[in-house]
Amino acid sequence: MEEVTLVGIDLGKHSFHLHAQDRKGKEIFRRKVTRRQLVELFVNFPACTIAMEACAGAHFMARTLAGFGHQVRLIAPHLVRPFVKSNKNDFADAEAICEAASRPSMRFVTPRTEPQQTLSALHRVRESFVRERVCTGNQVHGILLEFGISLPVGCTVLKRLPAIIAQYSLPPRLVLLLERLHAHYKYLDEQIAELDKDLARQLGEDDLGQRLLTIPGVGPITASVLSSEVGDGKQYRSSRDFAASIGLVPRQHSTGGKANLLGISKRGDKNIRRLLVQCARSYMRDVARRTGPLADWVRTLLARRHSSVVACALANKLARIAWAIAARHTVFEMAGYQLKKG
């Protein structure tokens, strides 16, 4: 096994498919193993480069294999797809991963740490609770509308739902059903509040998160997400690379030497992109009262472009500022629109 220099692993839930190559790209072996067999194989395996797609379970496996002395490289799945030969199967995928990892210009994903994954999971659970709370509220509105009761828009009316339905003559079974929905709505509201407290506590202990809060328009939720995703920012060559990774730069369809730029690409993490656009809109809401170079730049854009275009442009700028704060260990100075060493 000493001649093996690169191993591609097609990850699965219970079974894993391996494709090993030497330094010349010649196949050494193909093997299908279980999760336990995979760990046992690489414990005493000579140090080599292991490549995997950045999918479910990849970050945990990357940390595990890196602990055995191997160099682990994660590749975005869409960058592996062009290297799959004709018919698709698990061994062909593992071979394609090796081929993609051997390209000198390939871009790799930095494995996440356990705290980063934990914080990311917390955000995903919070988002699911928020979506479920909205669905529950809409369901209450829809049910009552079927019985001729139109509730005002907003979440405050749902908190006093029992007092509202007591004013109408409704079937007892319907009242019981609405009370269950109200209890479920309250439960979700309490869970979201508890998660917000957890996020605030974690953000208070996070140096990068506190520095990201100095960015105008960025609140605790966005700062927490950026802190978990950006890390030290060293995986990106520049601020534009980070903005491009979350889809905030124009798509390009150029040919014949003629540049043709389209709308934003919307690639990468749509959650971060959505949060940054919301931060931009929050900043734009009262930009008339703001001062400084950033506010002047936004007002100049608003005078000649649609507000949605300006929001995306400002979100791009906020993403670049966030990368600079993480990579250069700085804080944002609002007055002079500059990054000051922390």
Q: Which residues contact 275 (CB under 8 A, 6 or more apart)?
A: 221, 222, 225
CATH number belonging to domain 6-101: 3.30.420.40
pLDDT along the chain (342 residues), means of 10: 83 90 85 90 88 89 90 90 86 90 86 84 91 93 89 84 86 92 93 91 83 87 85 79 84 79 78 90 86 85 89 90 86 62 50
Question: How far from 281 is each of 7, 285, 294, 306, CA to CA, in Å?
Answer: 46, 6, 14, 12
pLDDT at 231: 75
Backbone angles phi, psi at 304, to 5 degrees: -130, -5
| Buried/exposed code over 235-249 (b: 16+ C-beta within 10 A; e: otherwise) | ebeebeebbbbbbbb
pTM, two decimal places: 0.80
DSSP string, 216-250: TT--HHHHHHHHHHHTTSTTSSSHHHHHHHTT-SE
For the record, the structure tokens of 122 come out as 């917390």
Q: Which residues contact 256 (CB under 8 A, 6 or more apart)?
A: none
